[in-house]
Amino acid sequence: MAGVPEASPGEPRLRRVPPAEVEAARMEAVRRYDILDTPPDGAFDRVAAMAARLFDVPVASVTIVDADRIWFKAIHGLEGVAEIGRDPGLCGSAILRDDALVIPDTLTDPIACTNPLVTGPLGVRFYAAAPIITADGYRLGTVNILDTKPRLITEADTETLADLAAVVLDAMELRLSGLRLLREEQERRKAEEEARTQAERDTEAITAFATTLQRTLLPPVLPPVPGLELACHYQTASPRDVGGDFYDVFSLGGQRWAFFLGDVCGRGAEAATVTSLTRYTLRAAAQHHDDPTEVLDALNSALLLDPSMGSRFCTCVFGTLQPAPGGGFSVSVATGGHPPAFHIQHGDDGAMVVNGVRPKGGMLVGALEGARFASHTFHLAPGQGLLLYTDGLTEGRLPDGTMLGEEGVAAFLTTRTTPDAGRLIEDTIALIADLPTGPGDDVALLALSVPLAPPTEQTATVSTARTLATPVAGAARADQER
């Protein structure tokens, strides 16, 4: 060990004290092995027993020299001793040497003769120890043999004792290697757990952000419209994305009402900005134009004039409602690139009849200057309903892999028993839940129906079945597969 002064001729063989910095480095090495105060270990016990047997001594031990004590990792022939003081100590002196310390007769050694192990009940007369030296030169402790009779050992015996010390070091290195692997595994698991926890927090934050943002893009509730039942459903394909679908119902004053439903291309924050502009433009334009096509014209111009929209466009169906003489509502609908709404009513034979409301000529909104839109006016009579939907519904896949399509939705509606808005929405939600992979995209549904009974306050009902970015089972499954 560098820095340890060599004994001068005539200098006592014990009690040499290493420089403080050398001792500090040695203790750092001891702590590196993390062996102090560890439970008994069979490997070290066997070395102590082997030393006693090889040298035919009553006591043998494996010790680690701490800052102020000699700690017994293993001891043979002396039960109940876990540690002793370091100063004055035989082991404490032995670790100051590169070679083995051999004291044939302790009573003739000027320092050892006063050691408590010599003067005490144990009456040690012979002591020999080989230091346990690390590859980088630090002496951790000693392998010791003690006898109550003076004795001599050969050079070969001394080498054997040194070999036992080397065996102890091998066991400590093996143990240290195991500790390192264990610590590395613990650190890896801790890092993975922290990363997983952070990812979960990020996901929760993103989901909360998307949900909160989505709330700002949809009406919190549908308004009560006298004589009309309304129901809606909104479902995003992923809870971590802001959907690009939108819908709304609002008053135009004078018993007139407006409604719209549409789909902005894409999803996420950029789609949200288009959705916001679209919704508020439609609301504002509806106050200034009676013709639904003129409302879509205004939206088309607004999207094209806003440079922040980029290449974003949307599909949209916009309609107005006005009480009709004799009951029901006169409905005027204009579309821009949107799938047809379905007008649902009982046929003469009692079966449900479904007709698509598809004004011819409706182009995408916000894609081209001078886009042309078409409108259609019809009577929504008592006992009839109207379903509007976005293409997330028609793009849903059936068990055979084919898209549900507009024909599939129409066929599904013909099997309904009632055109009531609430039942239409609930039945359509059930249809989506039964699709193997859920909806193909975000889904917005809006249903209107006129009860058969005369309008009363009780018939002006509103049902917000499911809204916002809360996925149902099918959507969650599809999100995982993505």
The residues facing 150 across adjacent strands are: none
Give the least confident one: 243-247, 260-264, 296-300, 379-383. 243-247
Between 267 and 139, residue with greater pLDDT: 139
SS3 content of the chain, % helix, strand, coil (to 5): 40, 25, 40
Q: Which residues of 257-272 are buried (b: 16+ CB within 10 A; e: fewer)?
A: bbbbbbbbbbbeebbb
Measured distance CA(201)–CA(196) in Å, rounded = 9
Residue 427 has pLDDT above 70, yes or no: yes
- Nearest alpha carbon to residue 235 among 432, 30, 457: 432
Residue 162 has pLDDT above 80, yes or no: yes
Give the least confident one: 152-161, 259-268, 408-417. 259-268
If pLDDT is split at 50, 70 and 90, which confidence band does 321 have?
A: very high
| pLDDT tens per residue across span 206-226 | 777 767 666 667 787 889 899
Entry pTM: 0.59
If pLDDT is split at 50, 70 and 90, which confidence band does 481 have?
A: very low
Please report the pLDDT score of residue 411 as a whole number.
Answer: 95
Please report the pLDDT score of residue 348 as a whole number.
Answer: 87
Please report the pLDDT score of residue 471 as a whole number.
Answer: 36
Measured distance CA(247)–CA(239) in Å, rounded = 18
Please report the pLDDT score of residue 16 as a whole number.
Answer: 55
Mean pLDDT in residue range 474-481: 38
2 contacts: CB under 8 Å, gap ≥ 6: 22, 137
Residue 467 has pLDDT above 80, yes or no: no
Measured distance CA(273)–CA(24) in Å, rounded = 65
Residue 456 has pLDDT above 60, yes or no: no
Local structure of residue 38 (DSSP, 8 states): P
Mean pLDDT in residue range 399-425: 93
| pLDDT tens per residue across span 54-108 | 999 999 999 999 998 999 999 999 888 889 888 656 877 788 888 999 999 999 9
If you compute the radius of gyration of the chain from its CA atoms, what whole number of angstroms results? 44
Measured distance CA(199)–CA(206) in Å, rounded = 10
Distances (CA, A) of 346 to 54, 378, 381, 452: 106, 16, 11, 12
Asked if 115 contacts 27 with a C-beta cutoff of 8 angstroms, the reply is no
Residue 161 has pLDDT above 90, yes or no: yes
Residues in the chain: 482
Residue 380 has pLDDT above 70, yes or no: yes
If pLDDT is split at 50, 70 and 90, which confidence band does 407 have?
A: very high
Please report the pLDDT score of residue 19 as a whole number.
Answer: 77
Please report the pLDDT score of residue 310 as a whole number.
Answer: 63
Measured distance CA(243)–CA(264) in Å, rounded = 9
Residue 4 has pLDDT above 80, yes or no: no
If pLDDT is split at 50, 70 and 90, which confidence band does 135 have?
A: very high
| pLDDT tens per residue across span 214-263 | 666 778 788 989 999 999 998 877 666 777 889 999 999 999 999 999 99
pLDDT averaged over the chain?
85
- Provide the 3-class DSSP secondary structure of residue 24: helix
Task: Give me the helices (H) in 381-420, please.
Answer: 391-394, 405-414
If pLDDT is split at 50, 70 and 90, which confidence band does 482 have?
A: very low
Residues 339, 341, 342, 343, Cα dihedral to 10°: -150
Residue 179, both tokens: 């500790």
Count the neighbouring beta carbons within 10 Å of the beta carbon of residue 416: 17
If pLDDT is split at 50, 70 and 90, which confidence band does 308 have?
A: low
Measured distance CA(389)–CA(380) in Å, rounded = 18
